[in-house]
Structure 1
C-alpha cells in the first residue's frame, strides 16, 4: 500500500469521527441546524475515499477523478451552508451555486489536459480556494466574532493558499503522469497529508465553535425566565455577582433595585392567571427598556424583580426606576387589559465598599417593604449600611438621599 493510500485511509477514519461528532450535536440539540450540514459535509469523505481507492483498478479513471472532485466540492458547499446556518447569517446561495456550477462545468474540459499542466492544476484547485474565501465571508458576516471564529478565518485563508500552491508543487515534483499513477506519486502523499491536516484542523475548530455556542445557549436557557424573558434567580445571582465584583475592583458605583407589582394577587383573582402572566411579561419588558445595557435585570419569582446597575449612582438608578414606575402606571387600558391602573413599588440600595450582593439586595428589599408600607406606587431609598435607620442620624441621612418626590427613606423593616 502506498503512502498516499495510508493517509487516505486515515482521512476516512477522521471523517467518520467528525460525522459522529457533528451528528451527536445535531441529535442532542435540535436547534443546532449547522451541525447537521457539517455532518453531511464530512460524510462526503466516504464517497471521495471510495472513488480514489478505485482509480488504480480502472482502465479509464477520469470519471472517478471527476467524481472525487465533485464530491470534495460538494463537501465544501455543505460546510459553508452549515457555517451560515450556525452563525445565523444569510446563506450566499447565489455565489455558492454559481461557483459550484462553473467549477463542475469548466473542469469537464480539463479531463484531457496533461496532469502536470499548471493551467489544469489551477483550474482544478481554484474552486476549493474560492469555497474557503466564501467561508471567510460567512464567518466575518457574524458580528459577535470571538477568538475561535477569527482563528477559523485564519485557517481558512491558509487552506485557500494551500490549494492554490498545489499546482506549483505538482509542476515541480510531478503528480504521477496519469490518474492511475496518482496514488503512488510523492505528490499524492504530500497532497493527501496536507489536506488531512487541514481537514482535521478545520473540523476541530468548527466542532469547538459549535460546542461552545451550544453550551452557551443551554446556559442562557437555564438562566432565563421563560415568562418574562429576563434572567431568573440563578442567572441573576451569577451575573449580578460578576458585575458587582467588577464594579468594586474598578472603583465604580453600583446600585441594586428591587421591584414588586402592587396588588398582583388581586389581578390574578380578578382577571385570571393568563392576564397575570401578561402583566408580568409586560412589566419585564418595561424594566428592560428602562435601564441601559449594563443593567442585570431579572425576575426573581412571582411578581418580584431585581436589577443591578453597575457604573451608575443613585441619581441615575432613581430616575430609571421612577420612569419605569410612571410608564407602568400610565399604560392605557387597552394595553394593560385591566379596568384599574397597574402600579409598582421600588426599593433602591447603593453598594457600599466591600458589601456583599446578598446584603445589598437585603437592604433594597427593606426599602421596597417601606415603599409598600407607605402606600405603594413609589420609590424608596435605603440608607447606607453603616447607618442605623432607627437613629436620628440614620433617618436624616435617608431623608437626604431621598429628596425627590415619591422617593421614601427606609426606617423600619416590614413584612408584607
Structure 2
C-alpha cells in the first residue's frame, strides 16, 4: 500500500478509536481511565500526521513534536490500561522521563544525528510498555481480554526496541528526509497501523466487556446502597478466589452488622432505617480500594472481600469503618444517639472456599455481638479488643431504646 494512503489511514483510524473511547466515557464518566484511551490514539494520530505531512522533517520543532506525541501516546495507553485494573502507575516518573527524552531528542536533532533520535524515543516508549506489561500481569486478571492485553503490551515493547535497529540495518545512515522516503519508513508506518489496530481493538474489547459486566452487576445490585446483593457479591468472590490462587495473593473477609437495627426501625421508622443502611453502604464503598469487593448480603449485614490483605490488616480496615460509623450523625435520629456496628474478620486460607471463610467470619461477628457490640473481633480471638466510647452524650442506642420504652 502506498505510503501516502497509509499516511491518511493511520490518523483516521486513530481518530475513530478515540471517538469510540470518548463515547464510552460519556456513558460512564466515573471511569476516568477511559480518557487515557481517548488521548492515546489522538496523540498517535498527531505524531503520524506530523511525521508524514510536515514539509521539512529535518526541523527541530516537528521532530521533537512528533516524538513527544509518540511518547505521550505510550504513557496514556499504559496509564489507562493499568488504572483500569486497579494498578497504580509511576506516572510522574514517566512524565519526567518524557521531558528528559525531549531534551535528548533536541540535542540529537541539533547535531543532525537521526539514528540517535530514533533510538532514544523508541527506547523510551519501549520501557513504558515493558513496565505496563509487568503491572498488568501483576493485576492477576484471568479474563481472556486482559491476558491478550498483557501479551500485546509486551509485543509492542519488543518492537520498539527492535524496529529502529532493523531500519538502520536496512537503510544505513540517513537523514530524516531520506528516512521518510525509504522502504524502512513504509514498513514502520505499516507496522504502526497494525499495532495501533490490534492494541486499540483489544482496549475497546476490554472496555466493552467492563460495560457489559457492569450492566450485569447492576441487575444484581441493591437499589438502596448500590452494592451487589448476596448473589452478585458471591460471584465476585468466587472469581477473585481463583485469581488469588494464581498469583498467590492473600485475601481476608470482613463481615459487618449494624447494631440494634430493629430498634432503629421501631423508634424512628423504616425510612430512617433505609437511609442509615444507605449511608453505611456508602461509607464502605468509599473506604475500600478498587481491588476490594463489598456487598449487602442481608438486611443490615454487609461483607467485604479485601484483596492482598492479611487478617491483621483487615482488622485495621474494619476498625476504621467502626470508628467512622460510630462518629456519624444521622438525619431523623436524635442528635444524642450514634449508631454502631460490629465486625467479624478472618483471613481466607489458601485453597479454602468462601463458605468456610464466611462461617468463620460469622462466628467472629457473633462473638463481637456477645462481647458488647461496637467492636471488631478477628476469628480465633475469643473477645474483641476493648473500645473507647465515641458517643459524646454517653447514651448509646440500647439506652435510648430502653428510655423510649
Gaps of 5+ in 2: 240-256, 283-291, 303-352, 375-388
Deviations 1:332-356 (A, max 9, x none): 69697344789xxxxxxxxxxxxxx
Alignment correspondent of 1:169:
166
* Change in CA separation of 1:186 and 1:226 when aligned onto 2, cut-off 3 Å: same
Q: Is the 8 A contact 1:84 1:90 kept in 2?
A: yes
Deviations 1:255-293 (A, max 9, x none): xxxx9x9994x64242233552377579999xxxxxxx9
1:45: Cα distance to partner?
Answer: 3.1
* Change in CA separation of 1:263 and 1:134 when aligned onto 2, cut-off 3 Å: closer
Alignment correspondent of 2:265:
268
Distance in 2 of aligned mates of 1:284 and 1:47: 45
Q: How many residues align?
A: 307
The higher radius of gyration belongs to: 1
Alignment correspondent of 1:45:
44
1:73: Cα distance to partner?
Answer: 1.1
SS of equivalent to 2:174: coil
1:297: Cα distance to partner?
Answer: 6.9
| Within-5 A mapping of 1:201-350 | 201-227=198-224, 231-232=228-229, 235=232, 264=262, 267-273=264-270, 275-277=272-274, 298-299=297-298, 327-328=368-369, 330-331=372-373, 337-339=397-399
1:60: Cα distance to partner?
Answer: 4.6
1:198: Cα distance to partner?
Answer: 1.0
Alignment correspondent of 1:96:
94
**Of 56, 61, 64, which residue of structure 1 is paired with 2:62?**
64
Alignment correspondent of 2:32:
33
Deviations 1:44-79 (A, max 9, x none): 234224312333x33854432222111111211222
Q: Is the 8 A contact 1:25 1:32 kept in 2?
A: no
Q: Is the 8 A contact 1:83 1:138 kept in 2?
A: no
Gaps of 5+ in 1: 244-258, 286-292, 343-416
Deviations 1:177-197 (A, max 9, x none): 332333331111100111111
Q: Is the 8 A contact 1:40 1:78 kept in 2?
A: yes
* Change in CA separation of 1:339 and 1:281 when aligned onto 2, cut-off 3 Å: farther
Alignment correspondent of 1:180:
177
Q: Is the 8 A contact 1:280 1:303 kept in 2?
A: yes
SS of equivalent to 1:51: helix
Distance in 1 of aligned mates of 2:204 and 2:62: 30
Distance in 2 of aligned mates of 1:157 and 1:326: 50
Q: Is the 8 A contact 2:11 2:46 kept in 1?
A: no
Q: Is the 8 A contact 1:176 1:182 kept in 2?
A: no
Distance in 2 of aligned mates of 1:226 and 1:323: 28
Alignment correspondent of 2:147:
150
TM-score (norm 2): 0.61
Distance in 2 of aligned mates of 1:41 and 1:123: 20
SS of equivalent to 2:297: strand
1:140: Cα distance to partner?
Answer: 3.5
1:39: Cα distance to partner?
Answer: 0.2
What's the RMSD between the two structures over aligned residues? 4.4
Alignment correspondent of 1:19:
18
Q: Is the 8 A contact 2:40 2:72 kept in 1?
A: yes
